[in-house]
């Protein structure tokens, strides 16, 4: 028996169990649960469309998209956004429910300010306030810009600026052509931001805006992200704010949690029953999987919803599967007459290719769902699935392997029985020895 190897194995086991038992509750508590699991706030907005005008399907889509982008920029908080019937004033209403909001102020910021960027050709001094106010129709607005605005540092002046690009380059070319040598006025949310003089005609749709409040990188980044989120096509007016319970029901959830725990215990017992000590190693790796996944979720600020949990369960399946594939492979190798040690080594190697291919395929499915699934539930699921697969590769393959090797090489047990290798296999094997 090699004590060094065995101690290494024991150390890994103790670290996994210790870390998990010690910190998992803190991590679990810091992961915000979604609307369906924990509840959140319900915000009802009225859509301030021009009088007598109702929303067309395309306008609905544009509005919902703008709201979704603002509420769910990462795509992992799965808000519920619903259009509702008209209120007394005949305005359409939009209901937004989001999880993990703590106070009223935060709730009001969810939809956030609309960055109303407008470029005017002329402006006049307001006599009362002494400030410049725009005059006439804007030459261009934030709606004319591509959503790739970003913070840059101007090459020549070293100033912080926001790089913008026009959707229709010709529009900007025409403006600069018309206003060569003249001043234009850039207003942000009704405030004059900068009033540069157009030096020369531009030949592409790119430009930079700077000056005024845009002195810091933070201010530039904030403006860029607001511009990128797209202007809300219509102003929204907050009508009511209520806190709501979980859409799946409180008692229902407690029962589900308990049931989930029971299921995990059964899986643990099953693995030990079928694969004995190797099963125990798989269980340890599974604990590590759960722990690391939660850690990553916490780091990514993922709001955990039912679809996220579903991906986690699928991840448990994939992680267990990786171990089952490996252990069955080890059995196969022993059937082919290898010794225990060499079977463990070769079995692991052969199983790895299978596991990589199957997980890569599922990962691709997740990645595609992320890009094509739009915002909300589908994207939340995709993120959770991709995280689960990567973590399961690290824990159920790398970590599990490391533990299995150090345990096998420690020679603590020599009988293949401890790896769940049945009698039939054993006889064949021993006959060859």
Partner 1 sequence: MKPKFDIVRLSKWFFLLSSAITVAGLIFFAVFGFNLSTDFKAGSRIQFQVNQKVDDTKVRQMFQSVGLNIGDTGLTVGGIARNVAIVTLPGQLTPHQIQEIQNAEHKYFPDAKQGIQVDTVDPFVAQQTAHKAVWAILAAAAFIVIYVAIRFEFRFAIAGIIALLHDAFIVLSVFVLFRREIDLTFVAALLTIVGYSINDTIVIFDRIRENLKIDKPKDVESLREVVNKSLWQTMARSINTVFTVLVAAVILYFFGGVSIRNFTFALIIGLISGAYSSIFIASPIWVAWRSRSLPKKTVTDEVEVV
Q: Which two tokens stand for residue 113?
A: 């300010």
**Exposed, middle or buried by CB within 10 Å (0-12, 13-18, 19+), for 142?**
buried
What DSSP element (H or E) covers 339?
Answer: none
Pick from 125, 372, 427, 432 the residue near partner 1 by CB under 8 A. 372
Nearer to partner 1, 224 or 404 (CB): 404
Q: Which of residues 345-364 bind partner 1 (CB under 8 A)?
A: 350, 353-354, 357-362, 364
262 binds partner 1 (CB under 8 A): yes
Q: Which of residues 287-306 bind partner 1 (CB under 8 A)?
A: 306
Q: Which of residues 129-148 bind partner 1 (CB under 8 A)?
A: none
93 binds partner 1 (CB under 8 A): yes
107 binds partner 1 (CB under 8 A): no
Nearer to partner 1, 40 or 134 (CB): 40
Q: Which of residues 4-43 bind partner 1 (CB under 8 A)?
A: 39, 42
382 binds partner 1 (CB under 8 A): yes
**Exposed, middle or buried by CB within 10 Å (0-12, 13-18, 19+), for 43?**
buried
Minimum distance from CB of 61 to partner 1 (Å)? 8
Total site size for partner 1, rule CB under 8 A: 79
Q: Which of residues 212-241 bind partner 1 (CB under 8 A)?
A: none
Nearer to partner 1, 206 or 336 (CB): 336
Q: Which two tokens stand for residue 208?
A: 């930079």
Give the max Cα distance, the chain.
104
Q: Which of residues 165-194 bind partner 1 (CB under 8 A)?
A: none
What DSSP element (H or E) covers 48?
Answer: none
Pick from 82, 106, 154, 428 the residue near partner 1 by CB under 8 A. 82
318 binds partner 1 (CB under 8 A): yes
> Which listed range, 138-146, 203-211, 218-226, 367-375, lies at the site for partner 1 (CB under 8 A)?
367-375
246 binds partner 1 (CB under 8 A): yes
DSSP class of residue 33 equals B
Pick from 10, 13, 19, 264 the residue near partner 1 by CB under 8 A. 264
> Which listed range, 226-234, 244-252, 339-347, 402-410, lies at the site for partner 1 (CB under 8 A)?
244-252
Residue position matching structure tokens 């991590």:
27
| CA–CA distances in Å: residue 75 to residues 69, 78, 223, 384 | 8, 7, 20, 11
Strand runs (DSSP E) across 159-245, as ranges?
Answer: 160-165, 185-188, 191-194, 206-210, 236-244
Pick from 81, 188, 223, 391 the residue near partner 1 by CB under 8 A. 81
336 binds partner 1 (CB under 8 A): no
385 binds partner 1 (CB under 8 A): yes
250 binds partner 1 (CB under 8 A): yes
**Exposed, middle or buried by CB within 10 Å (0-12, 13-18, 19+), for 163?**
middle
CA-based torsion, 166, 169, 170, 175: positive or negative: positive
Pick from 83, 125, 153, 398 the residue near partner 1 by CB under 8 A. 83
Our CA angle for 419, 2, 16, nearest 5°, is 60
Q: Which two tokens stand for residue 358?
A: 């199957």
Minimum distance from CB of 254 to partner 1 (Å)? 8
Minimum distance from CB of 243 to partner 1 (Å)? 5
74 binds partner 1 (CB under 8 A): no
Distance CA 45, CA 93 (A): 6
Closest by CA position to 318, among listed 414, 238, 211, 390:
390
376 binds partner 1 (CB under 8 A): yes
267 binds partner 1 (CB under 8 A): yes
Measured distance between the N- and C-terminal CA atoms of the chain, rounded to whole angstroms: 21
């Amino acid at each position: 028996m090699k004590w060094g190897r065995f101690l290494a194995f024991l150390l890994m086991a103790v670290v996994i169990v210790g870390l998990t038992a010690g910190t998992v509750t803190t991590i679990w508590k810091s992961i915000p649960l979604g609307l369906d699991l924990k509840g959140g706030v319900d915000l009802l907005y009225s859509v301030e469309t021009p009088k007598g005008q109702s929303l067309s399907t395309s306008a609905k889509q544009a509005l919902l998209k703008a709201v979704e982008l603002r509420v769910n920029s990462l795509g992992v908080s799965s808000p519920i956004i619903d259009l509702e019937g008209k209120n007394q004033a005949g305005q359409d209403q939009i209901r937004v429910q989001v999880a993990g909001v703590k106070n009223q102020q935060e709730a009001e910021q969810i939809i956030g300010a609309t960055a109303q960027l407008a470029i005017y050709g002329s402006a006049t001094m307001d006599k009362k306030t002494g400030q410049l106010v725009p005059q006439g129709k804007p030459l261009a607005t934030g709606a004319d810009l591509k959503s790739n605005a970003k913070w840059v540092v101007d090459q020549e002046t070293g100033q912080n600026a926001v790089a913008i690009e026009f959707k229709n380059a010709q529009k900007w070319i025409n403006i600069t052509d018309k206003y060569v040598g003249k001043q234009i006025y850039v207003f942000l949310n009704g405030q004059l931001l900068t009033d540069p003089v157009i030096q020369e005609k531009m030949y592409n749709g790119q430009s930079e805006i700077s000056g005024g409040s845009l002195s810091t990188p933070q201010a530039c980044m904030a403006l860029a992200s607001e511009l990128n989120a797209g202007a809300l096509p219509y102003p929204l007016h907050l009508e009511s704010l209520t806190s709501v319970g979980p859409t799946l029901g409180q008692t229902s959830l407690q029962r589900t949690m308990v049931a989930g725990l029971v299921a995990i215990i059964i899986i643990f017992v099953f693995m030990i029953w079928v694969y004995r000590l190797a099963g125990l190693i798989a269980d340890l790796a599974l604990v590590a999987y759960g722990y690391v996944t939660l850690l990553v979720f916490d780091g990514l600020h993922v709001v955990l919803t039912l679809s996220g949990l579903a991906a986690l369960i699928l991840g448990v399946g994939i992680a267990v599967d990786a171990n089952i594939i490996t252990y069955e492979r080890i059995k196969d190798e022993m059937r082919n007459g290898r010794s225990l040690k060499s079977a463990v080594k070769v079995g692991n190697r052969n199983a790895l290719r299978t596991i990589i291919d199957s997980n890569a395929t599922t990962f691709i499915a997740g990645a595609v769902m992320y890009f094509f699934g739009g915002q909300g539930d589908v994207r939340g699921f995709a993120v959770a699935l991709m995280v689960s697969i990567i973590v399961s590769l690290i824990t159920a393959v790398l970590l599990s392997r490391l533990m299995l090797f150090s345990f096998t090489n420690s020679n603590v047990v020599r009988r293949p029985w401890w790896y769940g290798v049945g009698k039939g296999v054993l006889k064949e094997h021993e006959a060859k020895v």
